Chains A and B, each alone.
Chain A
C-alpha cells in the first residue's frame, strides 16, 4: 500500500507533461487566431492587391486579379525620392530623438534615482503629450510655426529670417514634428535600461583611470545598448511610415512628401490600390532589411 505512492509518480509523469503542452497550446490559441485574422489575412490580401491589374474600360478604382510585376518597378521608380526622403527624415528624427532622450532618460533613471517622486513626476511629463491627440498636437505646432505665428513673426521682426521665409512646409518642420511626436518612444525604453544601470560599474571605470567621457563610451553606452536599440527601432519604424507630419495639411508640403504620403494619396485619393499596396510592401521590406542588419550589428543577444 505504502509503495504505491512511489510507484504512481513515474507513471503520472507522462500525462502531466502532455497536459502541460495542451495548456500552453490552449493559452496560445487566442494569440494565434488573432495574428491569423488581423495580420496574416490582410498581409496576403495586400500582396494580392499589389499584383492586380486595371480592368479594361472599367471604373476608376476597379482592378482584377493578375500578376502585374510592373506595379512594383513603376512605383519604385516614380516614388524613389519619396522613399529615400522617408528614410532620411526618419533617420534624422531618430538621431535627434536619441540625442535629446538619452540625457533626459539618464537624468530620470540615474541621477534622481533616490527620489522616486521626482522620477514619476518627470516620467509623467514625458508621456503627458499622449494625453492629447496626435493630430491636435501636430496641428498646434503648425499654428505655432505658421507664417502668422509667434516664431516666424518674431524672427522676421529681428531680421534673422528673410521676409518671405516659412517654417511650415520645410524639411525642418517635418523632421521637428517627427522628432517631437516620437520622443516618448525613445525616452521610455532608454529609461527602462538606464534605471537598472548599476552605477558601481561606472565607479569601477573611474577607478580604472577612465575619464567621465571614456567611462560613458566604454561602459554606460554598451550597458544601455538594449534600450538604445529598442528606442531607435520604436522611433525609426513608425517615423519612416508616417504621413501626418509630412502632409501639406500639417507641417509639410509637396516638397517634403514621404512614402507614407504617396501610399495615402494612392489609396484614398487616386484609388490606385495596386501601387499603394506595392509601396506598402516595399516600405515593409526595406524596414525589415534595415532592422535586421541593425539588430545584427548591435549584437543585442550578445549583450544581455
Chain B
C-alpha cells in the first residue's frame, strides 16, 4: 500500500509540474530562510558556552545610585576580586581580573625585528585566568605562564604576526615603549563566540612595573576600571553569594575614605553565558548583542514558514477537484477516511522532505554571503551534532503536519456520491478559508515590508541627523598616553602648517560615540552638600573650531586667557535648564566645583555656552555637560585620548600624508593610525545596520514566497475560468475586462490585508521607535510608508496575477470553449 501511495504522490507531483514547483520552491525558500535564521540564533545563543565550567562562571557588576542618577557598570574596583577570594573561600573557587588601562589601543613592538602594531584586545589578567576560562594553551604551563611580572601570553595568530615562524617563547615584546613583556605561552585563537575578545594577556603583577610598586594605584574603591570574573565552587548557588555581598559593600565601599556621601552601591552577579545577549551596561568590554533581536528574527522565521505553509494549503485545497475522484473511488473500494487522511498527510511529508533537501542545499549555497551580511562565520555541518539530522526531520514532520493537515482533512472528507454525481464543486467554505489564508499571508508580508521601511527610515534618520557638530571632515588620531602628550604644541603647529589642515584639538572622549564619562562636578548654585555626577568633557584649545560647535554665549577657551585651564568651563544649553536659567548669557560667570581624583576642589566659572550637540551616540539623550580645558603634559596624559584634526574638504590624501610625516617625527614609537570620525560613528550602528539589511532581505523573500503562492492560485483560477472567459470574450469583453475579472478578488484580499496590517504595524513601530531618543517623525512619515508599501505590494500582486490573467484573456475563445 505504501508503495502505491508513493507512486501516486510522485505521479501527481509530475503531472502538475508548475504547482509542484511552486509548492516545493516556496517551502524550500521558506525552510532555507528559517534554517539560516536558526543557525544565526543558535550561534548567538551559544556565546561563552565553550568554557567547560561555564555554568559556574560569573561576572560581578556594580550599580551606583545617587539621588538623580543610576548607573550599572560592568567593571569594579581593583581590590574587589582579591577581597571576595579572601572573604568567601568556600563559595568562590577563583577570581580573575581584567584591566586594559581603560584604553582600547595598545602598541606592541618587537624590537629585534623592528615591527610594531596596535592591538585592541589586550588585557592584564590574574594568573588564575587559565584555570577559570577554557582557553587552549599551545605552549606553556597554564598555572605558570601568568605568574611572574612581565609575563605575556599571545595568540597563535599574533605569534605569527610578530615573530613569523620563530618560537616566541622567551622572547620579548615592548609594551607602549614603557615595559618589556616576555612571552611565556601561546594560546589558541580566542573563539568568536565570546563576549570578550582576547589576543594578548599579560600578568596582572606586571602593573606594578607599569605604575611603580609604590604608587597605590589599586587602593581606590571609587575608581572601577576592572572587570572581575568569578569561578564559583561546585554546587554553590549564586544567589547565596549575592545575598552576602552587602557586607562587602558595607565594609569596603562605604568604608572607603573618598566615598561620596549619599552614593549607594549594589554588587550583583551575572552568569557569563548571559552577558552577550542580556547585558548592555556601562563599561562593557565590547558592545553586546541583544536577545530582542533574536526574538524578532525567530518571529520573522516563523512568518516566512507560515507563509510558505499557507501556499501549500491553498494550492492543495484549490486543486482538490483533481483528487476528488481518487478519494471517492478509494472509499468505494473500502478505504477508510482515516487511511485517506494518512495518505494525504504522507504526501505533504514527502513534499516537505523534498523541500528540506533543496532547502538545505540552498542554505549551503547562501551561507557564505549570509555570513558576510551578519558578520559571522557560520557553518552548517550536518554531522557535527547528533541532533541536527533528527532535528531537520522533526522540522519536516512539523511543517508537513502544519501545512498538510487542513488539505488532508479537506480532501479525505469527499464522499463518493458527490464524486459520482460530479457535484464536487469548490466548496464555499474552503474558498473562504483560502481567501482568509491569502489575506493572512499578505498581512504578514505587509507587516514585514512596513517594518523594514520603518527600520530603514530610522537608521537613515540617525545617520543623516544633524549632530550639532561637523563629523564629515574630522580625522581622529589615538593619542592616549603616548609621546604626543609631551610635544602636543609642536605637533599641533607642524600639522597646522599644511594648508589643507584647518584646525586641530585634543579631546578626552570621541564626540558622538557612546563612551562618555561622569565626573564629580557640582554647580555652586546647588550648595556644597550636593553630590552630583555630571558629564565632563576635556579638551585642549580649538575644540569649538575643529568640530564647528555653535557658541551661543560668551567665548571659547583662548590662549589670551592663561587661567582658562584652571578657572574656566564651557557648558551646553541643557545645563541651563539644570541651573534654572532662562538665557545663555545669564549662565556666564556661574561657578562649578570640580573634585579631581587627586583630592581637593577646583572652582571654575562659565565663560561660554554651547548649543546642544550629540556628544554621545543618538541612542542617548543629550544631558547637561561641562567642558574643561587641559593644558600641559601631565593633564594631557591624564585626560586626552584622541587628537581630532579638521581637514579641508576635497581629497584628504595629502593632508593625511602630511600628518603622518609629522607624527613620525614627534612619535617614532607608536605606528600612525587614523580613522575618520564619521566612519567611527557609523560603527555604533552596526547592529542596526545588520538588522536593516536582514529585514530587507527577509521581506524580499517573504514577498517572493507569497507571490509564488499567488501565482499558483491565479493560474488555477484562470484555468477554472477558462471557459467563462472564452464565452465572455466571444460576447465582446475586452482584454482589460478579463484581467479585471480575474484580479478583482485577489486585489480585494490584498486591500483587506493592508487594512489589517497598518494598525498592527503602527503599534509595533511606535513601540520599537520608543527605544530611540531621536527618531523620525512617525506622524508625517507613516502614511507615506503605509500607502507606499500598500501600493508596492499591490503592484507586485497585480504583476503576478496579470501574467495569468493576460494569458487567459489572450487565448482564442473558440479553443477555450472547445477544450472544456
Are A and B interaction partners? no
